[in-house]
Amino acid sequence: MNDSSSHEMPAAEALGRAGRMSELARGGTRWFGYMLVVLGCVTAGFFVGQALTEGWTAAALAWLYAACIAGLFWYVNRQRVVGRDMSTITRTVAVSYVALVVIVSVVNSTWLNDGSLWPCLVALLPALPCWLAAWRVLVR
């Protein structure tokens, strides 16, 4: 009986292939970082738009924001490759994002509805967790 196999490869070649596969898998998880950048931009754009517009334009922005969020959820559910730390990042970002969206919505609609630039500056707050998490995902 012969113990050798025709499928054996040198150790250096096997390590090289494993490294390339690891790099491909890591590159396949970068979509999450890009999605977080887009979510932050959409959120900031929505809140700035809400602060600067009224009436049907503000309503159209709200529907557009909802459509973008639904599209991002659809995109996330279509992805097959996820990073090891994605669940931890997702949980942290989701809780802070939702909390900041609620806080900014309440503050902008009650205290800062005087037409000043403060609502535009406060509008950037919900986007910060998204952008920080995207930086973490894309830099590693």
Q: How confident is the model at residue 4 (pLDDT cuts 50, 70, 90)?
A: low
User: Which pLDDT tens digit goes with each residue over 60-103?
Assistant: 999 999 999 999 989 888 877 676 777 888 899 999 999 999 99
pLDDT average, residue stretch 4-14: 67
**8 A C-beta contact, residue 135 and residue 40:** no
The larger pLDDT score, comparing residue 123 to residue 80, is at 123
